[in-house]
Amino acid sequence: MKPGRLLLVCLIVTVFAGPALAADNAKCLMCHGAPGLSKRLPDGSVISLHIDDQAFRQSVHGARLCTDCHIDMRGQTFPHKRSAVPVKCSGCHFMGNPMGAPNIGPMTEYADSVHGRAVKRGDKDAPRCKNCHGEHDIRAHTDPRSSIYRANIPDTCGKCHSDAGMARKHKIPVKRPYQLYEKSVHGKAVSGQGLIAAAVCTDCHGGHTIKAAADPMSTVNKKHIPGTCGRCHKKILEEYKKSIHGRAVAQGVKDAPVCTNCHGEHGIERPTEPGSSVYPTHVVATCSKCHESAGVQKRFGLPAHRLKTYIGSYHGVANKFGETTVANCATCHGSHGILPSSDPHSMTNKRNLPRTCGKCHPGAGENFAKGSVHLEPSEKRDKGVYWVRIFYTVFIVGLIGSFALYILLDIFSRVRKRGGRAR
């Protein structure tokens, strides 16, 4: 027999001659490589059992045996028994494994995450490894075709977190973070411009370590939010940490704002976008959420009527009518470095007011700023202003009153004169 033919016979024998050991991938693919191979489930639905050989070979596990993962298929004869053992990624991805399977915590961290715990409880909706990574087409996070490549992560999480029904069922407070995120400055930068340095879900939440926001260990727990955003927005974090708000949060004051109280979470927009919570005409409402709260004012001894006095000012009226060039809370107080006016570094400290007002009122001197902000004078405080105002009011009322009286008298005398003539 010619050597070629011998080889062919051997092949045929090994493959078809009776029960043969399921040893390598080619054998499995004889059946599973056929695009039509499928199976009908008891509920009538049909699932594909086709494995795309090429996609598998290009995956990170392309050099693995099918039976490395499907361990119950080892030594099976064909047709094989139903596969009963679910694939365990932990068979290789454990700390110090000899295969060199990377493991920066996926196994240990995942188990303790909100998803891992839900899976342990038997929750069918929570993601197992394969829901985020795939099965036979798993690729490294550096590969643009991977489900965990930065630009693809929002879609990977969004498979589940775009479904409000799922969120309601699991009592997740944020119903559709995916849709909000896609329209945010971060989402548009990533999907629109391919700027993968902008934040994706896992930058704020972690990948395998994800925890509910209420969990003190969560990266999105109020206490940790400044650090989470500040990993990328470093300069702003530095400024914020020194502010009255930043210091209060560091001391555990729950009423003080972190980044997301002013900017939102998933829907963050540029301050120049009219929809942004920090757009010039929206800043007033954003600060007032807290500063108009009687509880906050009382707890921290803060002065009241900031909003009322602002709205009563020239700036406030113009701002209300959509004028973006006038002063709002943040143009006078700052945004990230806000300090009480008693602090010499504060933008609203008396010494610094000429500079603060001078940004828009060139040549504003010390007198310009005096007594003209948040003014609600009383007899005790701002005595001068109080009496000047009283005088002003009496004077103006008197002036207008005498003017009106004058006109009345004039009309009266004219009528009388006319009446006299008619007689």
At residue 326, what are phi and psi to the nearest 5 degrees?
A: -80, 170
Q: Which residues contact 367 (CB under 8 A, 6 or more apart)?
A: none
Sequence-ordered list of residues with C-beta below 8 angstroms from that of 365, at least 6 positions apart, any chain: 354
190 binds ligand HEC (CB under 6 A): no
Helix (H, G, I), strand (E, B) or coil at 39: strand
Taking CB under 6 A as the binding criterion, the range among 191-199, 377-385, 389-397, 402-410 that sits at the site for ligand HEC is: 191-199
Q: Which is nearer to ligand HEC, 340 or 398 (CB)?
A: 340
Interface with ligand HEC in residues 229-288 (CB under 6 A): 229-233, 236-237, 240, 244-245, 248, 253, 255-257, 259-263, 265-266, 268, 270-271, 278, 283-284, 286-288
Selected binder of ligand HEC within 5, 43, 144, 225 (CB under 6 A)? 225
Residue number with CB closer to ligand HEC (81 or 421): 81
- Rounded-to-integer distance, Cα 215 and Cα 206, Å: 14
Which lies closer to ligand HEC via its Cβ, residue 86 or residue 274? 86
| DSSP annotation of 97 | -
Closer to ligand HEC by Cβ: residue 174 or 404: 174
For the CA atoms of 140, 141, 143, 146, the dihedral, rounded to the nearest 10 degrees, stands at 90
Does 410 sit near ligand HEC (CB under 6 A)?
A: no
Do 39 and 49 form a contact (C-beta atoms < 8 A)?
Answer: yes
Q: Which residues, numbered 307-346, are part of the site for ligand HEC (CB under 6 A)?
A: 307, 310, 314-315, 325-333, 335-336, 338, 340-341
How far apart (Å, rounded) are the C-alpha atoms in residues 353 and 261? Answer: 27
3-state secondary structure 212-233: CCCCCCCCCCHHHHHHHHHCCC
Applying CB under 6 A, what is the total number of residues that bind ligand HEC?
A: 164
**Residue 297 parent element (H or E):** helix 294-300
Task: Name residues whose C-beta falls within 8 Å of residue 356's C-beta, 6 or more positions apart in sequence.
Answer: 332, 347, 348, 369
**Quick check: 401 binds ligand HEC (CB under 6 A)?**
no
CB of 398 to ligand HEC, least distance (A): 25
Q: Considering only residues 137, 220, 267, 337, which one is a binding residue for ligand HEC as defined by CB under 6 A?
A: 220
Work out which of 14, 58, 77, 372 binds ligand HEC, going by CB under 6 A.
372
Of the pair 151, 244, the CB lying nearest ligand HEC is at 244
Of the candidate spans 101-109, 380-388, 393-401, 411-419, the one that interacts with ligand HEC by CB under 6 A turns out to be 101-109
Nearer to ligand HEC, 7 or 214 (CB): 214
Q: Angle at CA 227, nearest 5°, toward 223 and 231?
A: 165
Write out the DSSP string of 168-209: HHTT-S-S-HHHHHHHSHHHIIIIIH--TTS--HHHHH-SSS
Q: How far is the CB of 352 from ligand HEC (least distance, A)?
A: 9
- Stretch of 3-11, 112-120, 385-393, 407-415 contacting ligand HEC, by CB under 6 A: 112-120
What does the per-residue mask of binding to ligand HEC show for 46-85, with x meaning CB under 6 A? ---x-x----x---xx--x-xxxxx--x----xxx-xx--
Q: What 3-state DSSP class applies to 29?
A: helix
- The nearer residue to ligand HEC, 96 or 153, going by C-beta atoms, is 153
| Contact letters for ligand HEC, residues 124-163 (x by CB under 6 A) | -xxx-xxxxx-xx-x-xx------x----xx-xxxxxx--
359 binds ligand HEC (CB under 6 A): yes
Residues ≥6 apart with Cβ < 8 Å to 133: 147, 148
